[in-house]
Amino acid sequence: MLAYIAAVLLFYTALFAVSFRKLRRERGLKPIRYGDVLQSAFAPPLTIIVPAYNEETGIVSSVRSLLGINYREFELVVVNDGSRDSTLETMIAAFDMREVRHKINWTRLGRPTMPIRAVYYSLRHPNLFLIDKENGGKADALNAGIQLSRYPYFVSLDGDTVLDPDAFLKVMKPIVEAKPGEDIIASGGSVGIANGSDIASGYLREDGVRLSRNPFVVMQVIEYFRAFLMGRIGMSRLNLLLIVSGAFGVFRKDWVIEAGGYETNTVGEDMELIVRLHRLVKERKSKARIVYVPDPVCWTEAPETANVLYRQRTRWHRGLYECLRAHRAMLFNPRYGGIGFVAMPYYVFVELLGPLIELLGYVLVAWGLWLGDVNVRYAALLAACMALYGSLLSMGAVLLEEWGFRKYKRPADLNRLFVFAMTESFWYRPLMTVWRFWGLVQALGRKKHGWGDMTRSASVLNRPGSGNDFPG
């Protein structure tokens, strides 16, 4: 147990050091001029794919905001995934859409999608298309959008994502500025939490970032800082990144098609695709990379109640299990290099099995106390050290955000973040441990669980819908 804890602490400390070094090196550089990316002749055209399920009330405003994004050349593909409301009719009427008559190749991915009913194009906006298909879930809708797309890169976008004004420029910057011979096949950026912030017309105002007063939301903000600014910066530097957020990510289409598109029989389709792309890279002996952009590119709503947060975390853990189980042959396999010996073991033994080991520790301590076999002073000292380390790690993540990006400018927000970071080990982490453990139990039980409903607050986002709203 001590050896396991020591290894985890060393790994987290190393990731923090890598992130600190990278942000310190970039802090003194000139401000990034995203207009250069916009004007660059090397900026490839994009296809933006938006799955939609029962979004009649907000689909029009969502599409209008996306049609006005700050990017040179793009097309927008909305996929109506068997909505039971009038999403289809609303789109057709609002954008004066007509059915496409010519034949389309729907077999490029090598895996069938649910039947396509029709494809429409807009007479008002030549770059707007609509696919109407039978319900198959978010991954199936994305696969349909990929096969209709015309451009070499596509963006998968959740319907509830609130965009940064330069979101597409930020996420495409590593691809545009890649060195000769450097092949970047996927790029993702930081995802912020929008609860409590000022949002208008689908965009978050530059000075509108506010911290919610909900304790669950505040802890998720800190959690996101730690996951994105520490974990993903370090993993990306070593080309070991196994997750590009499903809320907003850009992919090179030819690689995704060769990999077979999104897996439809998992709730963790975003991570599973990234792992499959890494697998393909290693098997082709390519030097292609999957990168992470530290700048916040989009914002999403976080759960505000314990019940909704519980469903989200058990679902995430089931998706993690399904992905790792499907690609278990990569674990400690020399063929896959650092992915097999660093990334996969980390996700198996720390992320997947960590809750089980942590709960086992709680049980052993309680059992030992009951039998009188525990040195109470020594145990209390170890517990205090672990709580202090966890709190310092969370506070360090907040410090990295403030030092590198300063999205939360109000002193009151920063003070609240630091205070809550110090309390994490005493209530939030044990709660997450229990919920993640239960997600593992559900996954091992092989019982099919749906996505569940992500209850949205109308006061947070004015763009309805979510990948979480898809049934199945």
Low-confidence ranges of the chain (pLDDT < 50): 30-31, 449-454, 458-459, 461-472
What pLDDT is attached to residue 326? 95
373 CB-near residues (< 8 Å, 6+ apart): none
What pLDDT is attached to residue 463? 41
Is 72 exposed, middle or buried (CB count within 10 Å of its CB: 0-12, 13-18, 19+)? middle
What pLDDT is attached to residue 267? 87
What pLDDT is attached to residue 35? 59
Q: What is the pLDDT of residues 377-426, one digit of tens each?
A: 888 888 888 888 888 888 888 888 877 777 888 889 989 998 998 888 88
pTM, full prediction? 0.88
What is the rounded CA–CA span in Å between residue 339 and residue 282? 9
What pLDDT is attached to residue 175? 87
What is the rounded CA–CA span in Å between residue 354 and residue 437? 8
What pLDDT is attached to residue 457? 52
What pLDDT is attached to residue 450? 47
Q: Which residue has the tokens 């969502």?
A: 62
What pLDDT is attached to residue 121? 96
- Domains of the chain by range and CATH? 31-349+453-469 (3.90.550.10), 352-444 (no CATH)
Phi, psi of 79 (to 5 degrees): -115, 110
What pLDDT is attached to residue 232? 85
What pLDDT is attached to residue 197? 83
What pLDDT is attached to residue 379? 84
**Type of residue found at 11:** F
What pLDDT is attached to residue 41? 60
